[in-house]
Amino acid sequence: MEIKGLIFDLDGVIVNTEHNHFVAWKRTADSLGVAFTEKDNEKLKGLSRVDSLKTILEMGNIEISDETFNDYLISKNKFYLDSIASITAENMLKGVADLLNKAKEKGILLAVGSSSKNAKFILERLNLTDAFHIIVDGNMVENPKPNPEVFLKGAEAMGFAPEECVVFEDAESGIKAAKDGGFYSIAVGNPEIAKLGDLYLNDLTEFKLI
Ligand code: BG6
Ligand code: MG
């Protein structure tokens, strides 16, 4: 089947902000007294902010009030945004710019499918806002990853069926979302999920458009 659309996850695929999310969640977990390693963070990758905090609380078997829950979300996001305050196009991951340009030359449509509510801000900082036909972010879905909604919305906006699109992901939840949505899924840059996608690439320079 001819590829008509490429759908990119943002954090960990276009830019290495996944590490900033980890550092910010580690700080949250520390203040809740929950042990939290990079391995534990694999479970959080791709989840919404709310579901990420719920996962940390479940790990520690901790219950907190709705108000405290909200306070933790606000402080995590503030810490995270401070940590990416100086992000620029130079922080784009290997192969991204080239692939976006080559796809455009071939008339392939491009989309972002991200759980992040900060996606548009980050893409703006990377000068990438206009590179995509549609940006579907965490503000636009009712059911975050691992639900396929974010990718289905992207495909629909481009006017393509899932089978005509490829999804690039670095998270287990994102690969599940892509597969459940009927997309061809490519795991990128995260050996932890190498076997989960239809294909694994170390980085986007390895993806060749024919
Ligand atoms: C995803 C990241 O893209 O967005 C997660 O993989 C992050 O780590 C989630 O928690 C939500 O991001 P934000 O920016 O809305 O807090
Ligand atoms: Mg990601």
Q: Above 80 in pLDDT, residue 48?
A: yes
Contact of 110 with 8, CB cutoff 8 Å = yes
> Per the confidence metrics, is the pTM higher than 0.95?
yes
Put the strands of the sheet holding 199-201 in their side by side order: 134-136, 109-113, 5-8, 165-169, 184-188, 199-201
**Structure confidence by residue, pLDDT tens digits, 23-43:** 999 999 999 999 999 999 999
Q: Above 90 in pLDDT, residue 120?
A: yes
By alpha-carbon position, which residue is closest to atom 4 of ligand 1?
116
Quick one: pLDDT at residue 108? Answer: 98
Give Cα 57 distance to the centre of its chain: 22
Ligand nearest to the CA of 169: 2
**CA distance linking residue 83 with residue 128, whole number of Å:** 20
Q: Above 90 in pLDDT, residue 210?
A: no
Q: Which CATH superfamily is domain 5-16+88-206 in?
A: HAD superfamily/HAD-like (3.40.50.1000)
Quick one: pLDDT at residue 161? Answer: 98
Q: Above 90 in pLDDT, residue 1?
A: no
By alpha-carbon position, which residue is closest to atom 11 of ligand 1?
116
Give distance in angstroms: CA of 109 to centre of ligand 1.
24
- In this prediction, what percent of the chain has a pLDDT beyond 90? 98
Nearest CA to 27 out of 82, 72, 62 is that of 72
Quick one: pLDDT at residue 46? Answer: 98
**Structure confidence by residue, pLDDT tens digits, 14-23:** 999 999 999 9
By alpha-carbon position, which residue is closest to atom 6 of ligand 1?
46
Is 137 part of the annotated catalytic residue set? no
Backbone angles phi, psi at 157, to 5 degrees: -65, -30
In sequence order, which residues have a C-beta less than 8 Å from that of residue 46 and are 6 or more positions away? 9, 115, 145, 146, 169, 170, 171, 172, 173, 174, 177
Least confident span in 96-100, 177-181, 206-210: 206-210
Radius of gyration of the chain from Cα atoms? 17
Topology (CATH) of 18-84: DNA polymerase; domain 1 (1.10.150)
Tokens standing for residue 81: 């945004």
Q: Above 80 in pLDDT, residue 186?
A: yes
The structural domains of the chain, with segments of one domain joined by +, span 5-16+88-206, 18-84
Contact of 168 with 188, CB cutoff 8 Å = yes
In this structure, the residues whose C-beta lies within 6 A of any atom of ligand 1 are 10-11, 18, 21, 44-49, 52, 77, 114-118, 138, 171
